[in-house]
Amino acid sequence: MTELAEGHIVKGYDVDLTGLRMKFLEMGALVHDQVQRASRALIQGDADSSRTVLAREARVNEYDLSLDEDNIALIARRQPMGSDLRVVISIARAVTDLERVGDEAKKIARYSLKHHGERDIQPLGQLRRDVRHMAPLAASMLRDALDAFDRMDPKAAVRVAERDHELNTEFHAALRSLVTVAMEDPRKLQAIVESVLVLKALERIGDHAKSIARHVIYLVQGRDVRHEDTAVMAAPPSGNDTDK
Partner 1 sequence: MNTPLTEEHTAPAAAPVEDSHAGINVKPSQRKHAIADLAQQAGGKTVGVVSVDDPIMSAKGVNVYYGDKHAIREVSLDIGRNQVISMIGPSGCGKSTFLRCLNRMNDTIEGARVTGSITMEGRDIYDRRQDVVQLRARVGMVFQKPNPFPKSIYENVSYGPRIHGLASDRVEMDEIVQTSLQRAGLWEEVKDRLLQPGTSLSGGQQQRLCIARAIAIDPEVILMDEPCSALDPIATARIEDLIDELRASYAICIVTHSMQQAARVSQRTAYFHLGDLIEVGETDRIFTNPRHKLTEDYITGRFG
Residues that bind partner 1 (CB under 8 A): 7-10, 13, 79-86, 220-222, 237, 240-244
Q: How many residues does the chain have?
A: 244
Residue 6 Cβ vs partner 1, minimum distance, rounded to whole Å:
9
Closer CB to partner 1, residue 9 or residue 183?
A: 9
Q: Using alpha carbons, select from 50, 14, 39, 37 the residue that is nearest to residue 167.
A: 39
Closer CB to partner 1, residue 90 or residue 112?
A: 90
- Residue 84 has, within 13 A of its CA and on its CB side, a CA count of 18
- Our CA dihedral for 123, 125, 126, 132, rounded to 10 degrees, sits at 140
- Cβ atoms < 10 Å from Cβ of 127: 25
Q: Whole-angstrom Cα distance, residue 218 to residue 233?
A: 10
Closer CB to partner 1, residue 47 or residue 85?
A: 85
Closer CB to partner 1, residue 5 or residue 124?
A: 5
Residue 152 Cβ vs partner 1, minimum distance, rounded to whole Å:
9
Residue 209 Cβ vs partner 1, minimum distance, rounded to whole Å:
24
Residue 241 Cβ vs partner 1, minimum distance, rounded to whole Å:
8
